[in-house]
Amino acid sequence: MDLVKAARSGQEAAFLQLFDEHHRPLFRFAFRLTGSVADAEDIVQECFLQLLRPECAYDPRRTPVRTYLFGVVRNQSLKRLRRIDSADEASRNANPNRSPEDEAARAEMQDAVARAVMQLPDTQRDVLILAHYEHLPLAEIARIMALELGAVKSRLQRARATLQQTLAAYVSSLERKK
């Protein structure tokens, strides 16, 4: 019996195994989209519990569970992002764990990268995070986002081109400060 089926039939060990296998990349993805540990925690929790609900439309014969879970995290994160007003957004995207003084430069760089990624259009940002940080195959990203493979490739290229411009400007401004 596969893990999802066993978990849905009430087997706790199967559910926890499913959680242990998938929660880390899902948490990273949710955190990168929302910029908040608390939100990422809520989203990942909801994502696993949703899988057990009778109304859940997930069909293991058609979609691998990882693809489905990433899709749920993405949808939940987008819903939350829409609720956040733009004034609050900048502060949420900053690193919540501020570094001590000797790591200030690194923290600043990290924040700059996070901000640059978050400023990308939604689909470009999600494709970039799934491809670069989660190393998912492009075909799987296409399924998660309900896009054609060609559209995923072009969005990834555009995202990287935009980031190269944005971050190059940031790096040169740092060098000028020095």
Q: Which residues inside 55-84 make contact with another protein, applying CB under 8 A?
A: 55-59, 62, 71, 74-75, 78
Phi then psi for 4, rounded to 5 degrees? -65, -45
**For another protein, which residue of 86, 135, 146, 178 counts as binding (CB under 8 A)?**
146
In angstroms, give the least distance from the CB of 131 to another protein.
11
The DSSP string of 105-126 is HHHHHHHHHHHHHHTS-HHHHH
Confirm or reject binding of residue 3 to another protein (CB under 8 A).
no
On whether the CB atoms of residues 134 and 28 are closer than 8 A, the answer is yes
Residue matched to tokens 């819903």: 79
Q: Please give the Cα distance from 96 to 31 (Å, whole number).
A: 11
Q: Residue 153 interacts with another protein (CB under 8 A)?
A: no
Going from the C-alpha of 96 to that of each of 3, 75, 87, the distances in angstroms are 35, 23, 17
Binding site for another protein (CB under 8 A): 7, 10, 12, 15-16, 19-20, 23-24, 27-28, 31-32, 37, 40-41, 44-45, 48-49, 52-59, 62, 71, 74-75, 78, 96-97, 106, 109-110, 113-114, 117, 122-123, 132-133, 145-147, 160, 163-164, 167-168, 171
